[in-house]
Homo-oligomer: A and B are copies of this chain.
Amino acid sequence: MLDDAARRELHESTGLRGTYLEQLFTFGDPSRDPRAHVVSAAYMALIPDASAVKAPCDKYANGRWYEVTRLPELAYDHSLIAAYALKRLKSKLEYSNIANALLPREFTFAEFEELYSLILGRPLDRRNFRRRILAMGILKCLPHTRRGPHRPAALYSFANQSLRFIEML
């Protein structure tokens, strides 16, 4: 299965396991790689914590992290693939609980909102956004809070751990 192959490849190159994984698109333009006619089924993986990626093995030794809005020039048509991934992620944020794959088990509402704002690339109205999200019912409020240098923040987690699509009628 392609999913399994992608998962295996991801694990070999990053050490990641149990990652959210989604097929994006299959690219088959003969000119995308000048050396050979390569057909690539592109996948997107989502993780909550970049530091979970192990020091790269010999394969892909020069992998690095970039802000998605500031990707460098990539080889072949990989910029296109990255753009496609971001587009897919944006649209799924709006009608699913996919953000679960990008956040730790517990998080504050501010962290949740920051994630959305970052990926959607626009500022969000704090009150309206909170109202909308809570009305969706994708989050549940936990009984404990996170204490910090300021007012403690309520902690949330996702109501469903598995990917769900929200009906908005």
Contacts and interface: CB of A to CB of B under 8 A. Distances in A.
A41 interface: yes
B41 A29 contact: no
Copies in the complex: 2
A33 B1 CA distance: 12
Nearest to A31: B1
A2 B23 contact: no
Contact of A1 (B2, B3, B5, B29): B29
Interface of A: 1-3, 5, 23, 25-30, 39, 41
13 contacts: A1-B28, A1-B29, A1-B30, A2-B27, A2-B29, A2-B39, A3-B28, A5-B28, A23-B25, A26-B26, A26-B41, A39-B41, A41-B41
